[in-house]
Amino acid sequence: MISDIIAIIRDYWLLLLIGQYPNGPLGGLAATLILSVLAIAFAFPVSIALALARLSKSPFLNWPVTALVYFTRGVPLLMLILWGYFLVPLATGANVPSFLTMLVTLVVYQGAFLSEVVRGGVVALGHGQMEAARALGHSYLGAMRYVILPQALYNVIPSIISVFVSTIKDTTLGYVINVPDLTFAASQINNQLLTQPFQVFFILAAVYYVICWSLTRVAVATEGRITRKRAGTVPLQTAKSLKLAALTDQPS
């Protein structure tokens, strides 16, 4: 069993790492990581905009975004991917690579989840910060930009890392629309070997485990750092943080 696993890694490590690049699209682990990093990089500004809209008192900003958040929380990501697969080529009128479709879907999906995290960070700061900033002559947006968001975003860094971990796990769903990622590479290997599915998928699980576990450790360490740094200044809102943890820590 173990010798089989070593043999598979020896024979197919390049396919697992970069897919069929340069003879085909970039795939494997590289594609998984690039896809996740791009998704979270685009989702971050989107999520701040969504969070600000949800925090605003204007119903025209508030309601559509609340609806979007409930929509993304209530519909399986798989269904959103199918929508993306159908709508993105329709909207752009071109033959879009599945990688791009997946990226767009992930930005929408994780943007909505991340906006809840950002909103949670802002709410957890309390009213005092905003009131003090306003009293000092900041406009609403100025207070957000210079007082609220810098603190709130700093406090939610661990949750952002957790969302990044879920994004990595979510990229596996690209499998259904043939995004050439790590899972796709593993199933290609499985189709070539045919006789050793357990070994192939074991390697796949192990690779994901190593990446996500390390990132989770980073999140935990950062959380400890931030808590120590902010000791005494952040109110202990156990129920709120539990709810937040459940949002960011999604199985996928």
Partner 1 sequence: MSSFDLTEILGNPEYVSMLLLGIKMTFVVAIGSWTLAMTLALLLLGLRYAPGPFGNAFVTVYVSYHRNVPTLVQLLLWYFGIFTLMPDPVTFWLNDHNAEAIFAVIGLGLCQAAYFSEDLRSGMRAVSPGQMEAARALGHSYVSAMRFVMVPQGVRNALPALVNHSVSLFKNSSLAVAIGVAELTYAVKEIENLSFRTFESYLLVTVLYLVFSLMIMAAGAYIARRADPLRRARP
Contact residues for partner 1, defined by CB under 8 A: 70-71, 73-79, 82-83, 86, 165, 168-170, 172-173, 175-176, 183, 187, 190, 197-202, 204-205, 208-209, 212-213, 216, 238-239, 242-243, 245-247, 249-252
CB of 36 to partner 1, least distance (A): 11
Compute the distance between CA of residue 143 and CA of residue 217 in angstroms, rounded to an integer: 33
* Nearer CB in complex with partner 1: 135/194: 194
* Nearer CB in complex with partner 1: 155/166: 166
Task: Kindly write down the DSSP assignment for every residue of 129-151, as one continuous string.
Answer: HHHHHHHTT--HHHHIIIIIHHH
CB of 90 to partner 1, least distance (A): 9
* Nearer CB in complex with partner 1: 74/235: 74
CB of 62 to partner 1, least distance (A): 18
| Three-state secondary structure readout of 9-49 | HHHHHHHHHHECCCCCCECHHHHHHHHHHHHHHHHHHHHHH
* Nearer CB in complex with partner 1: 150/224: 224
* Nearer CB in complex with partner 1: 49/87: 87
133 Cβ contact partners less than 8 Å away, ≥ 6 residues apart: 142, 143, 146, 147, 148
Contact 47, 118 (CB under 8 A): yes
Compute the distance between CA of residue 223 and CA of residue 159 in angstroms, rounded to an integer: 9
CB of 12 to partner 1, least distance (A): 16
